Amino acid sequence: MAVAEGLGVDDRFSPSAGVALPPMGEGRGKTQLTKPQLEWRMIKACLWGLVMRTALLGDGFIISCPVTATGLSPVREIRKRGNIPLVLEEDVVVELKRSDMLESWRSTCALGRKKSEAMIAEAANRISVALEDEDVADMESLAGDMRAFFLLAVHQKGLDVTQASRFCTMAWHERADDHLQVSRY
């Protein structure tokens, strides 16, 4: 697994490969699920809904900020360091340092609505172009665009950044009337 030096970017991680759902029940009696297991099932169902909407609309992408993953995964390692993992379409993992997030959040909040909307559209366009031509995509620029998109989307939807950094999913649909959808659990 190749992680870009100092960027926390991994272009080969598939969250679904590192995450296993617990069984619903074994034998004759049902096993009671723990709160994290129930939360994971709810998250999985909501992600599936977003994936299906993206597939139907085309021309879009999903960036998620997952809670954690089991086993050896970049998401788990990033969370252990106290930072925020951002996953683009299960292909790219970017690490957003908590200190950088808080500093950038102040700047994001100072932006006006029009400027914020223009910046999120520009970042979304660059992310879409990078997804279309992965061979020539600049991973450092993509990582910066993902970080900017995350902060701008959270700001635009009026969410608390510390809550959103625990878990949220953002879907961008170029052809939809409402380009940005954010789900937080």
User: What pLDDT is stored for residue 3 in this prediction?
Assistant: 39
Give the C-alpha separation, 91 to 97, whole Å: 20
Pair 128, 174: CB distance under 8 Å: yes
Average pLDDT, the chain: 75
Tell me the pLDDT band of 72, cut-offs 50, 70 and 90. confident
57, HSE (Cβ side, Cα atoms, 13 Å): 21
3-state secondary structure of 143: helix
pLDDT(136) > 70: yes
pLDDT(184) > 80: no
Residues of the chain with pLDDT > 90, as a percent, come to 27
Give the C-alpha separation, 70 to 21, whole Å: 10
Bridge partners of 84?
Answer: 96
Pair 92, 15: CB distance under 8 Å: no
Mean pLDDT of 121-141: 87
Give the C-alpha separation, 161 to 154, whole Å: 6
Q: Give the contacts of 77 (CB within 8 A, at least 6 positions apart).
A: none
Give the C-alpha separation, 13 to 115, whole Å: 33
Residue that wins the pLDDT comparison between 1 and 69:
69
Q: Which two tokens stand for residue 161?
A: 């950044």
Mean pLDDT of 18-31: 43
Residue that wins the pLDDT comparison between 9 and 148:
148
pLDDT(5) > 50: no
Give the C-alpha separation, 100 to 1, whole Å: 25
Mean pLDDT of 144-167: 91
pLDDT(62) > 50: yes
Tell me the pLDDT band of 28, cut-offs 50, 70 and 90. very low
Give the C-alpha separation, 51 to 56, whole Å: 9
Give exposure, 42-58, as e/b (b: 16+ Cβ within 10 Å): ebeeebeebeeebeeee
Tell me the pLDDT band of 137, cut-offs 50, 70 and 90. confident
Mean pLDDT of 10-17: 39
